[in-house]
């Protein structure tokens, strides 16, 4: 029986922000399917290390992959984006897919060499410019694809066309969060929501890695009565699947993880909770430091978990019965 070729054999893919996180995981997956992968990063040593790891993981899947191409540029600078496009066009006679994954956030306002606010330049202008510079090569390689990675929190973003440069938005003006959304934010919120009671187990960490997730699993383990099984519905993130997490699950057999596609709309109750936090608390507050942001989120969680009953009465001419509602003091 003839061997079935890998679906990406003979195809070339460029992944920006490919030295770690989602970008690196994407590059590994594509290389394991037979693609010739190029990754873009700012640090040459880290990029070369990531390239070697991607090749090794592809080989572990039985794929004799090409050497991973490494491009080192600062994509927040338009000159860097243009240099990257020239190098890709020189190296790659065809380009079957462009994965615009690079992104970042800075808590204070910085300008690039082009005089642009850095978060806006990196997250929005650089993928737009790179896509246009490579568009003819992509068309010539048809059918080709352009994939731009985003966060589901963009649904809450609003563009302030009078302040595209973010001159009035730092360090945290209320109700003015727009395209500077903290993609790799200043703090990371883990929240486990009981879909029956609505109660939340939460923790805040400076980063989002497997180590932090494992510590949060310990928080859940301590909070949930020992006689109950625990079923966690998670997005399909690589941080939830590392060997360390698998070993933890073996030691804690009452835990079962259920995965959904990353960033999918999976539970309305969970989405509603994060929307309440974002719209009624974070966007109305001024957070001048990470410490203030963390304290603010903890206050919100405490209030959510300890709602206070509020009762009111109407004049007798309108209603003879008192009305009671359950609310939080926010």
Contact between 153 and 181 (Cβ < 8 Å) = yes
Interatomic CA distance for residues 278 and 181, integer angstroms: 12
DSSP state of 123: I
Beta bridge partners of 72: 41
121 with 112: CB under 8 angstroms?
Answer: yes
Residue 190 β-bridge partners: 203
Half-sphere exposure of residue 23: CA atoms within 13 angstroms, side-chain side: 23
Strand extents, DSSP E, 55-144: 69-72, 97-100
Catalytic position from the list 71, 105, 170, 181: 181
Calpha distance 200→273 (Å, rounded): 9
Q: Tokens for 102?
A: 């690079």
Tokens 């919120």 belong to which residue?
A: 189
The gap from C-alpha 253 to its chain's centroid, in whole angstroms, comes to: 29
Query: Phi and psi (nearest 5°) for 111?
Result: -110, 145
DSSP secondary structure, 134-163, as one string: HHHHHHHT-S-EEEE---GGGGG----TT-
From CA 245, how far away is CA 247, in angstroms rounded? 5
Instruction: Note if 170 is an active site residue.
Output: no
Residues 160 and 178: beta-carbon distance below 8 Å: yes
Active site residues: 181
């Amino acid at each position: 029986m003839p061997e079935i070729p890998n679906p990406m054999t003979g195809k070339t893919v460029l992944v920006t922000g490919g030295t770690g996180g989602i970008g690196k995981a994407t590059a590994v997956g594509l290389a394991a399917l037979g693609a010739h992968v190029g990754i873009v990063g700012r640090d040459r040593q880290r990029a070369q290390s990531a390239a070697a790891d991607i090749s090794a993981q592809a080989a572990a899947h039985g794929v004799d992959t090409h050497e991973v191409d490494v491009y080192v540029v600062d994509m927040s600078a338009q000159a860097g984006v243009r240099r990257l496009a020239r190098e890709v066009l020189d190296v790659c006679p065809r380009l079957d897919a462009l994965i615009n994954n690079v992104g970042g956030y800075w808590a204070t306002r910085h300008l690039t060499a082009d005089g642009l606010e850095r978060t806006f330049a990196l997250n929005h202008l650089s993928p737009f410019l790179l896509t246009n510079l490579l568009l003819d090569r992509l068309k010539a390689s048809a059918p080709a694809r352009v994939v731009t990675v985003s966060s589901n929190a963009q649904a809450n973003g609003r563009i302030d066309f009078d302040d595209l440069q973010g001159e009035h938005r730092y360090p945290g003006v209320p109700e003015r969060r727009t395209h500077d959304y903290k993609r790799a934010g200043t703090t990371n919120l883990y929240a486990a929501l009981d879909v029956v009671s609505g109660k939340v187990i939460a923790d805040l960490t400076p980063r989002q890695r497997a180590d932090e997730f494992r510590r949060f699993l310990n928080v859940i383990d301590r909070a949930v009565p020992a006689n109950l099984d625990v079923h966690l519905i998670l997005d399909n993130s690589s941080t939830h699947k590392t060997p360390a997490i698998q070993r933890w699950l073996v030691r804690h057999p009452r835990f079962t993880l259920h995965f959904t596609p990353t960033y999918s709309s999976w539970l309305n109750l969970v989405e509603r909770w994060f929307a309440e936090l974002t719209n009624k608390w974070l966007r109305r507050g001024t957070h001048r430091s990470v410490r203030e942001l963390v304290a603010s989120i903890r206050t919100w969680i405490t209030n959510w978990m300890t709602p206070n009953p509020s009762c009111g009465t109407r004049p007798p001419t309108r209603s003879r019965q008192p009305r009671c509602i359950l609310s939080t003091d926010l």
